[in-house]
Amino acid sequence: MRYFDWRGVLDRLARLWRSSLQARTVAITVLLSGIAVLIIGSYMSYSVGANLFDARRGQLESTSATATLAGQRVFDTAAEQVGTEDVDVTMRDAAVAISNAASSGGNTGFAILRTPGQEGPVTPTPILSLGADEFISDELRDAVRDSSDPRTHSQSVALTASDDTVHPGLVVGSVLSIRDSQYELYLIYDLVDAQETLDVVQRTLLLGGLALIVLIGAVTWVVVRLVVGPVRLAAQTSEKLAAGQLEVRIPVKGDDVIATLARSFNGMADSLQSQITRLAALSQVQQRFVSDVSHELRTPLTTIRLAGDVLYDQRETFPPTTARTAELLHTQVERFELLLADLLEMSRYDAGAVDMETEPTNLVRLVEDAIESVGSLAESKGSQLRLVAPGGYFEADVDSRRIRRILQNLLGNAIDHGEGKPIVVWVDSDQTAVAIAVRDYGVGMTAAAMDRVFDRFWRADPSRQRVTGGTGLGLAISLEDAALHGGWLEVWSAEGQGSCFRLTLPRVRGAALAGSPLGLPPDDEPPVDAPNDVPGGVRHA
């Protein structure tokens, strides 16, 4: 069975309607002009038909009047010549005379009927041509009978011709007076010739209207094409421009509004191109600068570092002042090195010159390693590190170097601000995401501090002594690292209750995050000494 895909056709049409301004314009124009042509055509057809009918009826009525007179004369003459003549013969004579008089109008039948309700003999007998009586309605007879003047009356009827086609017809009635009795004469005319004329006119109107609509459609199509063409070209060109082909332009022809559009578009493209080229050059300079600084600064720093370390290793043989100097040199060079590394990493992010090297990584193991690496530091501050990992044992696609860096940062901060209280690390996962939360129960932060905690070189409390010797860029870099993974790094904190940083990462690289498997802070039993109430958190990234 062949199946016609209506839905497909409708969909295609709907798409064409939405996508093609040209098709839409042509369709609307054709529709509206079609309605106009229909109205005008109908009116013209109606008025031509009415006029044609009126003229024909006038003509036929006058023909009928003549025929009536001819018939009346036959009866009058017969009455004068003989007394009691054969009225039926007279009747036939009259019928012939009437037929002759009326034949010019396309007469097809007639009837001479006696008006009912009269006294006296029913002579002559009414005569009528075959089937004529079925066209003579009672209303017409009433109208003819009641009129006192000799005017004719007419009525439209539908005639069935010999070939079974229906023709419009007209019955015209008038009054005859035969031997003091009132008779009615009805003449039936076929109006097929008028109908044919009307048909020709209507056909001409229809064809003319259709031709007009097609013409209007074609003209609209051409005109719209003239206007839409340049717009379409502009659209294509801007798409190419957006795709990065900065050198494309629209050809400018003439001096009209389209040319103005093309010129201003080209002007826009020019400035866009120069801006982008300038920015690209700037970015390249920036990147090269970063790379140069990286090399130029690192080589002397290496020498200083080596020299400082050699001195530091021999500090016991120096006098106390020199020994302390060597110590200071050693620690500060180390700090400078960290700062330089963070600065370079940050500027790499700013230049957009970072790439991820993801590999399937077991995050719980990664967290265990990170906790182990800060174990001695935590011990020195008296903080106990605890891992709670209900999930996260699968392998997630992450850049383990960056995640480890984030963890070390968060753990370092937690130890710094944890006031020796326990620190809990949660790891959990769901179908799409894995989350790591680092919770301390230390000093915490104000809401204002929470808003700024990811800012570069911002410190919660400048007077606070740092153990981990952070550079002030740690959280800013962590935030960038998380964003690079398409993940979130969020913070919750309350003064006196501690802080919680939650890292949420998609399990598959490039997947979008819908939510985090862990609460912020994770609603779990807090260790001893920890407060229970939890105000709302702030989300970053």
Partner 1 sequence: MNARILVVDDDTALAEMIGIVLRTEGFEPFFCEDGAAAVAAFHSAKPDLVLLDLMLPGMDGIEVCARIREESGVPIIMLTAKSDTADVVKGLESGADDYVVKPFNPKELVARVRTRLRPTPETPTDSLQIGDLVLDVAGHEVKRGDERINLTPLEFELLLALALKPQQVFTREMLLEQVWGYHYKADTRLVNVHVQRLRAKVEEDPDNPRIVMTVRGVGYRAGSIT
User: Which residues make up the interface to partner 1 (CB under 8 A)?
Assistant: 291, 294-295, 298-307, 309-310, 313, 337, 359-360, 369, 395, 404
**CB 185 within 8 Å of CB 126:** no
CA proximity to 517, closest of 409, 363, 402 = 363
CB nearer to partner 1: give 127 or 301.
301
Please, what is the minimum distance in Å from the beta carbon of residue 405 to partner 1?
A: 11
Instruction: Give me the helices (H) in 118-191, please.
Output: 138-146
Please, what is the minimum distance in Å from the beta carbon of residue 541 to partner 1?
A: 22
3-state SS, residue 221: helix
Cα gap 241→395, rounded to integer Å: 41
CB nearer to partner 1: give 313 or 523.
313
CB nearer to partner 1: give 348 or 421.
348
Instruction: Give me the helices (H) in 317-431, please.
Output: 320-350, 363-373, 375-381, 400-417
**Distances from the Cα of 265 to the Cαs of 32, 229, 236, 242, 248, in angstroms?**
34, 15, 12, 13, 11
Cα gap 129→99, rounded to integer Å: 11
Please, what is the minimum distance in Å from the beta carbon of residue 283 to partner 1?
A: 17
Please, what is the minimum distance in Å from the beta carbon of residue 349 to partner 1?
A: 12
Please, what is the minimum distance in Å from the beta carbon of residue 315 to partner 1?
A: 14
Task: Return the number of other C-beta atoms located less than 10 Å from residue 210's C-beta.
Answer: 13
CB-side exposure of 16: number of CA atoms within 13 Å? 12
Cα gap 496→511, rounded to integer Å: 37
Q: Is 46 exposed, middle or buried (0-12, 13-18, 19+ CB in 10 A)?
A: exposed
| Residues belonging to the chain | 541
CB nearer to partner 1: give 128 or 340.
340
**CB 106 within 8 Å of CB 123:** no
Please, what is the minimum distance in Å from the beta carbon of residue 339 to partner 1?
A: 12
3-state SS, residue 505: strand
CB nearer to partner 1: give 215 or 310.
310
Please, what is the minimum distance in Å from the beta carbon of residue 4 to partner 1?
A: 53
CB nearer to partner 1: give 17 or 394.
394
Cα gap 292→246, rounded to integer Å: 30
CB nearer to partner 1: give 20 or 287.
287
Please, what is the minimum distance in Å from the beta carbon of residue 276 to partner 1?
A: 26
CB nearer to partner 1: give 94 or 326.
326
Q: Is 355 exposed, middle or buried (0-12, 13-18, 19+ CB in 10 A)?
A: exposed
Give the N- to C-terminal CA distance of the chain in Å, as an integer: 58
Please, what is the minimum distance in Å from the beta carbon of residue 347 to partner 1?
A: 13
Please, what is the minimum distance in Å from the beta carbon of residue 435 to partner 1?
A: 22
Residue position matching structure tokens 């040199």: 329
Nearest 5°: phi and psi at 278?
-65, -45
Task: Return the number of other C-beta atoms located less than 10 Å from residue 48's C-beta.
Answer: 15
**Distances from the Cα of 439 to the Cαs of 6, 175, 363, 423, 526, in angstroms?**
62, 119, 17, 6, 10
CB nearer to partner 1: give 122 or 306.
306
Pairing type for strands 423-429 and 395-398 reads unpaired
CA proximity to 361, closest of 402, 412, 319 = 402
CB nearer to partner 1: give 139 or 359.
359
Token duo for residue 354: 């970072």
Please, what is the minimum distance in Å from the beta carbon of residue 326 to partner 1?
A: 14
CB nearer to partner 1: give 207 or 306.
306
CB nearer to partner 1: give 327 or 419.
327
CB-side exposure of 456: number of CA atoms within 13 Å? 10
Please, what is the minimum distance in Å from the beta carbon of residue 298 to partner 1?
A: 4
Please, what is the minimum distance in Å from the beta carbon of residue 395 to partner 1?
A: 7
Burial track 28-44 (b if 16+ CB lie within 10 A, e otherwise): ebbeebbeebeeebeee
CB nearer to partner 1: give 88 or 395.
395
- The DSSP result for 109-134, as a single string, is EEEEEEPSS--S---SPPEE-TTGGG
CB nearer to partner 1: give 146 or 395.
395
Please, what is the minimum distance in Å from the beta carbon of residue 302 to partner 1?
A: 4
Residue position matching structure tokens 């010019």: 104
